[in-house]
Chain A
């Protein structure tokens, strides 16, 4: 038990260092980009202690919409708060700052949780709690390290690994017209081998994931012709030992998050009886929120070929296809 405790303590020191650094970076970046009239430190400290209460799931019917509503409110209030902290920032900087503060908030939460269970286990001399905490330590430290990488990306506004989907959408839409379709989402029209293709992505270059579920629903409701295929492109977690940037394909809605967007996409695809294909670019959790690696960039190029092949094999010329590039679009505009 003494050995475990020592390991946990060492990790706690590391976590404390990480979260303090994240806080420093946040304050520095907010001061640089937001030019607040007063010192933002107390407001940022309050921001880092924010929490979110999930809706009760005893009676699960209809929970998706409650979740969706609460997430909307959370998103809006956080944006408002960031705007108050950093009044001079433009829209895309605002999104980046919000992402940055969120990552710092998550690091803070990890630190507080580990500290809580450690002190609680020690106080009650509970051998089992300490043991469990010690077992989970590698996973916890891995995700904390991932958030640390995210802090760098969000403070400078460079693309992250999760941006693979939006990057593919951007590459397909080069030089094409696009319009805003829903809050933070854009749609553009292009042509691939004789098929009319609608491409969805979140609005960049600020850090943003948008609401692909709502955007897809609105798009499908507005089209006269039923599309014969929806292809979702996203970054997906690879298994340990697999190569970063490998491309795989499958069936279903490829999208992460709490599940509200996935639910909406599955609903609308079922309503119109449209086949859902998924193409994923493999990366680890750490790579997904750290600055984009070259392997992932090359993976996006491979994914474009894969998407074209799927379109060729599953549709005929003159038909309509929708491609949705899912992920955080930081550093990637339209």
Chain B
């Protein structure tokens, strides 16, 4: 899924670059050709400006695109009830708060599930008001 998305955006970028090159070729030919203003020249110029507009729109969309949230993972936080030893692992079916799971690797005391939560790694956009 993620890989597919990445490939898609790469394709888009490539298309955009091709479009830019094409548009500048059109404009270049229409503006700097030494012949008189001919009908095909003005058509090319018109197409070129349309292309520039398209590019500006595409760039604007790229800039304002909302960052897509990265994957969410459920974590289980384990803590020793005797010492302060703590460890974090992925959630497993059957986990619950405050289940005792084995012994503390540091002092041998009972090892307890302290918390189960989902962590998201997205930058939140600050609301200015």
Contacts and interface: CB of A to CB of B under 8 A. Distances in A.
Chain B associates with chain A: yes
Interface of A: 156-159, 167, 170, 174, 204-205, 241, 290-294, 296-297, 331-333
Contacts of B72: 291
Contacts of A332: 96-97
A291 to B, nearest CB: 5
A156 B93 contact: yes
B118 A157 contact: no
Q: Main secondary structure on chain B at its contact with chain A?
A: loop
A287 to B, nearest CB: 10
Nearest to A291: B118
B15 interface: no
B81 to A, nearest CB: 8
A163 to B, nearest CB: 9
B98 A333 contact: yes
Given A241-B127, A292-B118, A294-B118, A158 B91 contact: yes
8 contacts: A167-B97, A170-B97, A174-B98, A291-B74, A294-B117, A294-B118, A294-B119, A333-B99
Chain B: interface size category: 10 to 19
Interface of B: 72, 74, 91, 93-99, 115-120, 127
A296 to B, nearest CB: 7
A158 B119 contact: no
Contacts of B120: 293-294
Contacts of B91: 156, 158
A333 B74 contact: no
Contacts of B99: 205, 333
A158 B127 CA distance: 31
A332 B95 CA distance: 9
A205 B94 CA distance: 10
A243 to B, nearest CB: 9
